[in-house]
Structure 1
């Protein structure tokens, strides 16, 4: 490689080092491990609270709050980096061994076949409704994690996942810290895989989303790690499970008795049985989040 190419590479790496966010193993469940799927984005909003809602049946989750710039120095650095990247890519465009992370976005997932498999067992299964549920649950779990709210987390996750998150949230509370996830936007949801695992049905989805991710002192609100306004672009692997044999036409009914011990359900808003503490059925066709982590990209 020519000397000029090395200079360009050095320039780009130096600039990226200056503005890249601090490395933190955060996100829900301290999952981390996003690697190439965790790329940088633009600076986010510098103020104001964020109100969120699911946008109909589309595959995009919109987060409120206005967007402001990152200041003259930040813009200058971004401009310098862009210039260096353009020059570098232009000089090496003939390189056929380029395996940049952006190429992974074209990984093929046969969603049609996945939906066909689900509908063999559940003819009334709706992919669009399921994606809407996934988007709402995904952001709901992130919000509950960020707000240290185990009660909000409870109805969205399986018992095993909830117990793990409850322990981790309590650790944050004891240490006086909070992992803030905000400005979430779910950009795309793809049904990747469906399988039967014993007495459970399992759907794995890929969620492409953007968000800010940093840790603060929960009392002083001072920043401990990460950058408040750096927006990450991430790809997630999220798994949902339900009891085998559950179908989409019989799960919106409200049970009058606990399916585990038979005790009466005294209120439609109950999340768990007052007698055996079993999690009661929900109106999401039985689905609950069972795993949450980084998507493993395949070449």
Structure 2
């Protein structure tokens, strides 16, 4: 009986999500903005949508803006997501004792100032500047549909999620315009560490104009060409544990990290490419510099 109820719940959720997914949606890079505001007050930390290490929920905001083939693809994605949620729910019901894993220090951010105890060359201002520049660069790459340039600055998992969304947008024959981009504030909220990585947690407050148009007709599919959106995000950037900031990457530098390719030994500017230009070996940027591993939409406020 319980099995039948669970199966019925699975189908109901799937149908509801398909209805949401097939409505044309707004999508800044990662699909965090929408027609309506969300989350708490501007700059707050409640609510929102996660996009990164925890899974595919960010995919739900893209929709099939103007493409029939995208709808079928969307249905497949939603069915897969809901099935995994249902499967995990059943597993937790069978083994309640495993629902609470032991906490570790990684769940509690430490004051950002304490990072300098293990990384004396780490400075707050260059890190804020790096994050601000990456945000603008990411939105421009998203609009231009040339997201490959963001590859060195993201983990494999996060990059692939963004690329999946952008490929769907391309298939639908639409362009997501992100204009009047301004980073209003970047606040480093703290840092964490685990067995493999160090992580910096940053909160961004930005302003954008975000709309989608049809590539063939120029028709406005969704959004507004005049309405400003004030967005709040939480970014997590990681770096391999034990790595430190080079002296040349401190204040007043160009923040370019030059390393030697582990395959052929050639010098590579890791901030320019995640691939060696000499032997085409893919280099894990997180082994040498901070890369974005997760982006969470915290709040959105609309205004003119």
Name the TM tier (shorter chain): 0.5 to 0.7
Residue matched to 1:232: 229
CA separation of 1:156/1:150 partners in 2, compared to 1, >3 Å: closer, same or farther?
Answer: same
Residue matched to 1:120: 117
Across the aligned residues of Structure 1 and Structure 2, the Cα RMSD in angstroms comes to 2.9
1:271 to 274, 284, 294: 274
2:293 to 284, 290, 295: 290
Structural mapping, 1:19-30, within 5 Å? 24-30=25-31
Structural mapping, 1:211-230, within 5 Å? 211-230=208-227
Tell me which moved more, 148-157 or 244-253.
244-253
Distance (whole Å) between structure 1 residues aligned to residue 33 and residue 257 of structure 2: 38
> How many equivalent pairs are there?
199
Distance (whole Å) between structure 2 residues aligned to residue 203 and residue 267 of structure 1: 24
Distance (whole Å) between structure 1 residues aligned to residue 292 and residue 158 of structure 2: 8
Structural mapping, 1:95-244, within 5 Å? 114-244=111-241
Query: What's the secondary structure of 1:35's corresponding residue?
Result: coil
CA separation of 1:137/1:249 partners in 2, compared to 1, >3 Å: closer, same or farther?
Answer: same
Distance (whole Å) between structure 2 residues aligned to residue 193 and residue 239 of structure 1: 10
Query: What's the secondary structure of 1:141's corresponding residue?
Result: helix
How far does residue 289 in structure 1 lie from its aligned partner after superposition? 1.3
Distance (whole Å) between structure 2 residues aligned to residue 296 and residue 193 of structure 1: 20
Preserved CA contact (<8 Å) 1:37 1:235: no
In the TM superposition, what whole-angstrom CA distance separates every residue of 1:127-178 from its partner, at most 9, and x where no partner exists? 0111011100111111111211122221221211111111111111111112
Distance (whole Å) between structure 1 residues aligned to residue 31 and residue 161 of structure 2: 11
Structure 1: gaps of 5 or more residues: 1-21, 40-112
TM-score by length of 1: 0.59
Residue matched to 1:3: none
TM-score by length of 2: 0.58
Structural mapping, 1:32-47, within 5 Å? 32=33, 35-36=38-39
How far does residue 278 in structure 1 lie from its aligned partner after superposition? 3.0
How far does residue 187 in structure 1 lie from its aligned partner after superposition? 0.8
Distance (whole Å) between structure 1 residues aligned to residue 127 and residue 196 of structure 2: 21
